[in-house]
Structure 1
Amino acid sequence: MSIEFIGYVSHQESSETHLPQGPTLNVPYIGAVAQAHEYGGFDRVLIAHSSASPDGAQIASYVLNRTKRLGVLLAHRPGFVAPTLAARQLATLDHFGDGRLAVHIISGGDDTEQQRDGDFLDHAARYRRTDEYLDVVKQSWTRETPFDHQGEFYQVKGHKSQIRPVPRADLPHLPVYFGGASDAAIEVAGKHADVYALWGESLAQVAELLGRVKAAAARYGRQDKIRFSLSLRPIVAATEEAAWARADAILEQAKQVVTRSPNFTRRPQDPQNAGSQRLLAAASQGTVVDKRLWTGMAALTKAAGNSTGLVGTPEQVSEALVEYYRLGITTFLIRGFDPLEDALTYGRDLLPVARARLAAEEARAARVGRAAA
């Protein structure tokens, strides 16, 4: 089955409803959350990146060591290490994880956040750099002979790496996930992304954005080589009424937290990145869009990252996931507001129902395709 579910592992317990608590690098917590996702049947977990957080690559190494099957999606910002070095670091980590690593390339959508790490390139230049960076990284992963590179941002002469990613049946390198909704980002995604990742927008927005990415991929002859991921914050309960009541309670709790949490107070009030602007456009349509897409948290936090959710029973949320699947989404990145508890809840209540419904939809689509042929 081609459906993939990705969870989330943070370096400490925190969310929109929980002020950061415990040590900044809470090792037992990281291990517990990773194992909860493996137990719950997730395929991967995302390890995020920011200019203030502990090093994600080392967290990824620990997660891979503490699990046996679970994959890791490591967020990585181009521009802070040489692409040849990054290629070797990622390939080495992939071997320690027995081929369970994927990389999520994020070029950066906020000038202030980038500048905290000393990056003063503007938005357009960051995406030109990302394009060039990935050109070099992929060559380092795949070239059998030494190569040179002369570009706007990087110069390489005679590079040949001894370490390559673990061989995969479907790709000659690590899976490359890619995010960004600006025109510049979409052009890079069309050229490089194996999986294009977007946040939880309305069905109409998702259809429009997927069309733009597919058109960009077609310009590079890659229209059949790119898959799509959607990020959401499901809120599930035994009844629909209870689920919506929980969403209301989460929002009220968040109003007391986000004004005090350093994870939110250091963010700009008006987001620069196109992805957040698109989420705010969805939120402007109302607290609920497309029957059960909840935008309350996106409106409260100015769309600070993955902040929209699907609300309902596991069956109802699964039905909504099928609607996105019909548009072309095959990966769902889901995380809750109570990170550890929700990972267990998703594994017990949501993932089995969602996988069954999505498998049935996949089989139905295959039958329709055979009939049409």
Structure 2
Amino acid sequence: MTRQPIKFAYWVPNVSGGLVISQIPQRTSWDFDYNRKLAQTAERVGFEYALTQIRFTAGYGADNQHESVTFSQALLGATERLKVIAALLPGPWNPTLAAKQIATISHLSSARIAVNIVSGWFRGEFKAIGEPWLDHEERYLRSEEFIRCLQGIWQEESFTFAGDFYRYRDYSLKPKPLQPLPEIFQGGSSRAARDMAARVSDWYFTNGNTLEGVRQQVVDIQQKAVENQHSVRIGVNGFVIARDSEQEAHQVLRQIVEQANPDAVKGFQHEVKNAGSASPEGEGNWANSTLEDLVQYNDGFKTNLIGTPRQIAERIIELHQAGVDLLLLGFLHCQEEVEYFGREVIPLVRELERQLQPELSHG
């Protein structure tokens, strides 16, 4: 079966502190002027998606945070083709507000808005804003209901739903979002997260992982999706350090880790380990992460996109062959490194794709 070309997304730095818990100097800013230029650069060099982050409280370098939906709308206004994925956190958001917001933005952006449903892992954040903290399974049950409600509100003329968390009776949203409807992304690596993706989500994001670890997750999710008569695509997090030489790239990695803020990394580790251990199987995102892994929030180093453009392109092809449809990428110095990646890596990936599948459409 012919595979579509792999897609590229980048983490939007709409929170301060960059994408590593390190004191290494970073030429990355959370302000809008920086992000507008970054989005325009990413669009120009071949990125198809950008993911805005949602944070309500400070910590781990993210002292300042812009709200995700508003920021996404601003980035859409500054671009022409880029699709922006707005992170939504059930609890602070309910499906009614989210469905209305995103439908309006769909009309304003020619259907370039998507959503990422974040089930929540940071207990302190929920406590700080007065939101009830549900146990692990309940968080995913709520997220699944949230997604089902979004889909129903967007698709049905008169939506009725009776769940444990949300209820609707003959609700009609007008206008509906433009076609194609907003794609729904979700994250997580626990059993509950994977099962939810295999039932309701359009896209499943997982933390960075080894090639074999990614392959196992893809097989697991796709088998369950087939059983559910559902289709889901896979996105994997990766932190890119692309340099002219392999030695230089690994030197940058060492500098990031050596200059890590140990107290902040340990604090982050404490929170995420609590979240993972709350799942019935005692696993989830960050279950097997070392302190070095956690210097990059989403295990991006594990994906091993570190080296020369050729080495990185070849690893991307391996991930694509393992079933990955999209790479969600982070960078140390976002503007210049996104441009370098688009100039030096993406063309190599496309060339390798054509060699493997000459009939592959890149239009």
For Structure 1 versus Structure 2, the TM-score category normalised by the shorter chain is 0.7 to 0.9
2:166 to 145, 154, 161: 154
TM-score (norm 2): 0.85
Q: Which moved more, 1:84-93 or 1:239-248?
A: 239-248
- Matched to 1:304, the amino acid is Y
Deviation track 1:207-255 (CA, whole Å, cap 9, x = no partner) reads 2111221232123211xx21111110121111222222222223223x2
What are the ranges of 5 or more consecutive residues in structure 2 without an aligned counterpart?
Answer: 58-64, 277-282
Q: Secondary structure at the match of 1:221?
A: coil
Q: Are 1:96 and 2:101 counterparts?
A: no
Q: Are 1:206 and 2:218 counterparts?
A: no
- Distance change in 2, residues 1:56/1:306 (3 Å): farther
CA offset at residue 363 of structure 1?
3.6
User: C-alpha separation between the residues in 2 aligned to 1:103 and 1:201?
Assistant: 23
Report what 1:189 is aligned to: 197
What are the ranges of 5 or more consecutive residues in structure 1 without an aligned counterpart?
Answer: 284-295, 367-373
TM-score (norm 1): 0.82
- Matched to 1:27, the amino acid is F
Q: Are 1:115 and 2:123 counterparts?
A: no
Deviation track 1:177-215 (CA, whole Å, cap 9, x = no partner) reads 111111111121111111111122012211211122123
Maintained 8 Å contact 2:14/2:53: no
2:341 to 346, 351, 357: 346
CA offset at residue 19 of structure 1?
7.7
- Matched to 2:326, the amino acid is T
User: C-alpha separation between the residues in 2 aligned to 1:345 and 1:55?
Assistant: 28
Report what 1:242 is aligned to: 248
- Distance change in 2, residues 1:251/1:19 (3 Å): closer
Task: Give 1:275-354 correspondences, 5 Å limit.
Answer: 275-280=284-289, 297-299=292-294, 301=295, 304-308=297-301, 309-354=304-349
Maintained 8 Å contact 2:160/2:168: yes
CA offset at residue 72 of structure 1?
0.6
Q: Are 1:68 and 2:80 counterparts?
A: yes
- Matched to 1:250, the amino acid is I
- Distance change in 2, residues 1:247/1:25 (3 Å): closer
Maintained 8 Å contact 2:209/2:299: no
- Matched to 2:172, the amino acid is K
Q: Secondary structure at the match of 2:179?
A: coil
Deviation track 1:109-149 (CA, whole Å, cap 9, x = no partner) reads 233333333231111111111111111111100002x2222
Q: Are 1:134 and 2:147 counterparts?
A: yes
- Distance change in 2, residues 1:355/1:75 (3 Å): farther
1:11 to 14, 20, 33: 14
- Matched to 2:134, the amino acid is L
User: C-alpha separation between the residues in 1 aligned to 2:215 and 2:331?
Assistant: 25
Q: Secondary structure at the match of 1:213?
A: helix
- Distance change in 2, residues 1:360/1:330 (3 Å): farther
Report what 1:39 is aligned to: 44
Maintained 8 Å contact 1:34/1:67: yes
- Distance change in 2, residues 1:207/1:131 (3 Å): same
1:252 to 258, 283, 296: 258
Report what 1:287 is aligned to: none
CA offset at residue 59 of structure 1?
0.4
Report what 1:357 is aligned to: 352
Q: Secondary structure at the match of 1:130?
A: helix
Q: Secondary structure at the match of 2:51?
A: strand
Deviation track 1:88-114 (CA, whole Å, cap 9, x = no partner) reads 111111221111111111111233333
User: C-alpha separation between the residues in 1 aligned to 2:100 and 2:166?
Assistant: 16
Higher relative contact order (CA 8 A, sep 6+): 2
- Distance change in 2, residues 1:322/1:51 (3 Å): same
Q: Secondary structure at the match of 2:285?
A: helix
User: C-alpha separation between the residues in 1 aligned to 2:14 and 2:266?
Assistant: 19
Q: Are 1:85 and 2:97 counterparts?
A: yes
Q: Are 1:2 and 2:5 counterparts?
A: yes
- Matched to 1:110, the amino acid is F
Q: Are 1:59 and 2:64 counterparts?
A: no
User: C-alpha separation between the residues in 1 aligned to 2:45 and 2:222?
Assistant: 32
- Distance change in 2, residues 1:25/1:234 (3 Å): closer
Maintained 8 Å contact 2:112/2:182: no
Aligned residues: percent identity? 25
Q: Which moved more, 1:98-107 or 1:10-19?
A: 10-19
